[in-house]
Amino acid sequence: MHVVLGATGNTGHVVAKTLLSRGQKVRVVGRSAERLQPLAAEGAEIFVGDATDGPALTRAFKGAESAYVMVPPNPSSSDFRAFQDRVSDAIAAAVQNSGIKNVVSLSSIGADKPSGTGPVVGLYNLEQKLNSIDRVNVLHLRAGYFMENTLPQVAVIRMVGSVSGPIRPDLKLPMIATRDIGAAAADALLLDEIQGKQTRELLGQRDIDYTEVATIIGKAIGKPSLGYIQAPDEQLRLAMMQMGMSANFVGLILEMAGALNSGYMKALEPRSASNTTPTSFETFVEEAFAPAYREQAAA
């Protein structure tokens, strides 16, 4: 039995579906039985619980061999780092108390740093807590920058006519599609070869900067002259809060962007076949970004 946290989310649903399609027993965890229902229809066992609830997660992990764990985003939280620490405490307690043998955790590039990387500090803490539990095998997947982070640009393009954000226009980022992370996590659980405590970076198909991001999006949505503008933090702070994020969460996102821009937060492994994943940004735009853009335009 494999347990999957965040099973209705970007990475978790791919982990769960991949394992189910390979005939594995899967217990999916989320806050709503209704949202988990499509996975139950494919054969998963449902467990409704909150990721901050250690005793509930312990029950969810009981009797399972392995788990996929992640710290859910919570953009409206007024103290997101405290929320992350409550989740990583609950996960660590459940790993410790359930007797589970293998864990694959969703981490990030930059999780080697104890401070100065915004939300990624919460993943550093998750890694440290899991590494301190003796008998369990843990693989931390340190993912690059999600391609899905560009989806809010659907609204930005419609509002300001360009792609815009805090990242330097020429900063090459290892951008990855979340489905590739889910597939890699499922493979790691299936191969059952995690030994001790390990990290592995997942760096997407290639490194790509926001100038190229705008060019690829522009081509796909019929705006061939679409460009990228790096906006000042203060302007972005207001815009992101208008999108429903708390001031605290926005502050952390801007700290992370600064850490990426300065090179403090970066991938540590040289690119190789084992940390490169298949989905290109062009494919992501064709299959996810452009349809979302057309849908909003139609509405």
143 backbone dihedrals φ, ψ, rounded to 5° = -80, 155
DSSP class per residue in 109-148: TTTT-SSSSTTHHHHHHHHHHHHT-SS-EEEEEEE-EEGG
Cβ atoms 12, 186 nearer than 8 A: no
Shorter beta-carbon distance to ligand NAP: residue 71 or 130: 71
Q: Please, what is the minimum distance in Å from the beta carbon of residue 256 to ligand NAP?
A: 9
Q: Please, what is the minimum distance in Å from the beta carbon of residue 225 to ligand NAP?
A: 27
Q: Could you give the CA distance from residue 266 to residue 42 in angstroms, rounded to a whole number?
A: 38
Shorter beta-carbon distance to ligand NAP: residue 224 or 263: 263
Q: Please, what is the minimum distance in Å from the beta carbon of residue 223 to ligand NAP?
A: 24
Shorter beta-carbon distance to ligand NAP: residue 212 or 219: 212
Binding site residues, ligand NAP, CB under 6 A:
6, 8-12, 30-32, 35, 50-52, 70-73, 106, 108, 119, 123, 143, 145-146, 149, 178
Shorter beta-carbon distance to ligand NAP: residue 180 or 290: 180
Shorter beta-carbon distance to ligand NAP: residue 264 or 297: 264
Q: Output the residue with the shortest Cβ distance to ligand NAP.
A: 9
Position 127, amino acid? E
Cα–Cα separations (whole angstroms), residue 28 to 33, 61, 84, 180, 242: 10, 10, 20, 19, 33
Alpha carbon distance, N-terminus to C-terminus of the chain: 43
Q: Please, what is the minimum distance in Å from the beta carbon of residue 259 to ligand NAP?
A: 13
Q: Please, what is the minimum distance in Å from the beta carbon of residue 111 to ligand NAP?
A: 8
Antiparallel, parallel or unpaired: β 173-176 and 207-208: antiparallel
**DSSP type of residue 197:** E
**DSSP type of residue 287:** I
**DSSP type of residue 196:** S
The total of other beta-carbon atoms located within 10 Å of residue 242's CB is 8
Shorter beta-carbon distance to ligand NAP: residue 200 or 223: 200
Shorter beta-carbon distance to ligand NAP: residue 76 or 222: 76
Q: Please, what is the minimum distance in Å from the beta carbon of residue 222 to ligand NAP?
A: 27
Helices (H), 147-232: 153-160, 178-191, 210-220
CB within 8 A of 81, min separation 6: which ones? 119, 121, 122, 252
Q: Please, what is the minimum distance in Å from the beta carbon of residue 50 to ligand NAP?
A: 4
